[in-house]
Amino acid sequence: ETGVTQSPTHLIKTRGQQVTLRCSSQSGHNTVSWYQQALGQGPQFIFQYYREEENGRGNFPPRFSGLQFPNYSSELNVNALELDDSALYLCASSLLTGRRQETQYFGPGTRLLVL
């Protein structure tokens, strides 16, 4: 096990609702990255948080937003849910020192179903 935890494990929402997913990073890590994995595809990068600020973003609309807390845990918020948001959401933590980032270690994921 990596020490990265995510909650909840499963979630069912309806279109238009809002959802918050949570991630606790591995001890000693200071960055959290979020990925969306649609069924049958590889994960797609949403964004990364470092020092409580967004440190890079993939091709996702602004209704995907996040937070990082002083203890390095993180939240992913998705507003105005769409059917295509149904996916496995993975968070990954890593250590960033200067420009060097170590390997990203993933949590077990949250499976979101939007009806």
List of residues contacting another protein (CB under 8 A): 2, 31, 33, 35, 41-45, 47-48, 54-58, 88, 90, 92, 94, 96, 99, 101, 103-109, 111
Q: Tell me, what amino acid is at 50?
A: Y
Main-chain phi, psi angles of 31, to 5 degrees:
-125, 150
| Listed residue (108, 86, 97) closest to 13, CA to CA | 86
Residue 42 or 70: the one with the smaller Cβ distance to another protein is 42
Smallest CA-to-CA distance from 74 within 16, 9, 14, 25 is with 25
In whole angstroms, how close is the CB of 92 to another protein at the nearest point? 7
The pair of three-digit structure tokens given for residue 35, joined into one six-digit string: 């990925």
Q: Are strands 44-50 and 96-97 parallel, antiparallel or unpaired?
A: unpaired
Is 16 or 56 the residue whose CB approaches another protein more closely? Answer: 56
Q: Name the minimum Å distance from CB 68 to another protein.
A: 13
Find the shortest distance in angstroms from Cβ 103 to another protein: 6
Q: Which is nearer to another protein, 15 or 51 (CB)?
A: 51
Q: Which residues contact 99 (CB under 8 A, 6 or more apart)?
A: none
Q: Which is nearer to another protein, 78 or 107 (CB)?
A: 107
